[in-house]
């Protein structure tokens, strides 16, 4: 009986690993193809979400001093690090993404950023290297979001802040889109694996973050200037890595929820 159980666990592990590799490869291939047209195709969506994201990130970033290092995960072509450097030119930016073509585009557009090709689940940085970490519209693409958040936590210095924003399954429009993508052939699991705010709150707390707070907001998502999905639902989280020796426990993110922005 024990042998059968061990065999079942082993088979499940192999299946998960195989599916994770296929999902990661699918996301990489998708964005390798999109790299050349991404900035134009998603310009309106990127700008709308970036504006909202920077309003959430501005306070944590203002607490940093010149020379502090910030990491952006799932950076794509580098929209977030470019925006951070425009507002806080004294900071040092590193950025990671799974797609080599997206990274090459980012390097061309912003040589000041240290771009690396790496998945969120395996970041090639020493522990405690960064004063802050960010990620925008990337979490739902990660093969293992919990592991990716643990990696971001590892890379932060004690007291470092994380600012995260992603699609939010709390909204009806996002639920409908997820169902549509799930039912429509040609879409990978990453396209419809949208998380709820409760999911992300739990993942951040489990990863070791404290003082977890969040808000929700909506953006008009457009492709090539045409309406795609109006009032697309997003969530934004801010959390902190506990100081060394601290016994603080992360509170439920709903305690920190201020309002839903229209």
pLDDT at position 171, please?
84
Domain count for the chain = 1
- Which CATH number goes with the domain that contains 213? 3.40.50.150
pLDDT at position 21, please?
42
What is the chain's pLDDT, residue by residue, as a tens digit (262 residues)?
443 333 333 333 333 333 444 444 565 555 455 544 555 566 677 788 899 999 999 999 999 999 999 999 999 999 999 999 999 999 999 999 999 999 999 999 999 999 999 999 999 999 999 999 999 999 999 999 999 999 999 999 999 999 999 999 888 877 877 776 666 665 555 555 789 999 999 999 999 999 999 999 988 766 545 555 567 899 999 999 999 765 444 344 344 444 444 3
Instruction: Match 């509170």 to its residue by tokens.
Output: 251
Residue ranges in 35-99 assigned as alpha helix (H): 38-41, 43-62, 79-87
pLDDT at position 187, please?
55
Q: Are 103 and 117 in contact (CB under 8 A)?
A: yes
Q: Which domain holds residue 131?
A: 2-261
Q: Are 156 and 133 in contact (CB under 8 A)?
A: yes
pLDDT at position 175, please?
80
227-233 long-range contacts, CB within 8 A, separation 24+? 228/45, 229/173, 229/177, 230/173, 231/173, 232/45, 232/167, 232/171, 232/173, 232/174, 233/167, 233/168, 233/169, 233/170, 233/171, 233/173, 233/174
- 23 C-beta neighbours (distance < 10 Å), count: 18
Could you give phi then psi for residue 257, rounded to 5 degrees?
-75, 125
Q: Are 132 and 60 in contact (CB under 8 A)?
A: yes
The pTM (predicted TM-score) of the whole model is: 0.77
- 247 C-beta neighbours (distance < 10 Å), count: 6
* Pairing status of strand 69-73 against strand 130-136: parallel
């Amino acid at each position: 009986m024990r042998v059968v159980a061990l065999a079942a666990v082993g088979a499940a592990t192999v299946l998960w690993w195989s599916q994770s590799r296929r999902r990661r490869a699918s996301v990489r291939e998708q964005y390798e193809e999109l790299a050349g047209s991404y900035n134009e195709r998603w310009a309106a969506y990127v700008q709308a979400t970036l504006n909202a994201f920077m309003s959430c990130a501005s306070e944590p970033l203002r607490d940093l001093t010149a020379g502090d290092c910030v990491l952006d995960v799932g950076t794509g072509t580098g929209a977030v690090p470019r925006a951070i450097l425009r507002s806080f030119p004294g900071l040092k930016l590193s950025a990671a993404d799974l797609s080599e073509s997206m990274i090459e585009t980012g390097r061309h557009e912003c040589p000041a950023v240290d771009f690396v090709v790496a998945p969120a689940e395996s970041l090639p940085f020493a522990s405690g290297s960064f004063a802050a970490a960010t990620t925008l519209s990337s979490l739902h693409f990660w093969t293992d979001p919990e592991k990716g958040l643990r990696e971001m936590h590892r890379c932060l210095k004690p007291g470092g802040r994380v600012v995260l924003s992603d699609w939010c399954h709390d909204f009806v429009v996002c639920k409908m889109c997820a169902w549509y993508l799930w039912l429509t052939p040609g879409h990978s699991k990453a396209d419809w694996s949208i998380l709820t705010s409760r999911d992300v709150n739990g993942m951040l707390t489990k990863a070791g973050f404290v003082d977890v707070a969040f808000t929700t907001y909506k953006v008009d998502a457009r492709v090539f200037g045409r309406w795609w999905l109006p009032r697309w639902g997003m969530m934004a989280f801010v959390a902190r890595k506990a100081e060394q020796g601290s016994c603080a426990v992360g509170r439920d993110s709903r305690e920190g929820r201020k309002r839903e922005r229209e």
